[in-house]
Amino acid sequence: MKTFLFAGLFCVCATVTQAQGYVCTLKTNGSSFAPEVLAMDFDSSGKTATVYGPVIEWAKGGPMKAKTRKRQDGQIEVRWSMTLPSRPIRAYARYRVVFNQDTKQTTLNATLRNADNDVSGRGTCAPEDWLPS
């Protein structure tokens, strides 16, 4: 399933616009709810971002909006929530990414309700235009 979702991510990346974003490669703890690839595009207001990856594609069917805030240490915090269509009980996930624009390093953590799963990852991001037109 991961291969299919990664292929979908790269198909979306192939139809780009002029928006500047980042594509991050994460080393995860192995949870199926932790994306190994995450794309982010920050809007000019600094209050929201568009996020996308295999888990978001599976749960939402395409990119989704996330809230952002600049932390006192200069890093950007990105947050989004979604229901995961897992079985036998649907899980609700709250994701949090901390992104350092200077070093391009990122960390990911998620809290799941109705599921016993530790979701985390760490990696690097590269500037890339990825938003679909």
Domain with residue 47: its CATH number is 2.40.128
Q: Select from 11, 12, 85 the least CA-distant residue to 50.
A: 12
What are the tens digits of pLDDT across the range 26-56?
A: 999 888 888 899 999 999 888 999 999 999 9
The residue ranges of the chain whose pLDDT is under 50 are 1-19
Residue where the block lists tokens 């982010």 = 40
Given this model, what pLDDT does residue 11 score?
42
In a domain, 55, yes or no: yes
Bridge pairing between strands 91-99 and 76-84: antiparallel
DSSP-derived secondary structure letter, 86? -
> Domain tally for the chain?
1
Q: How far is CA 86 from the centre of its chain?
A: 18
Q: What domain range includes position 45? A: 2-14+21-127
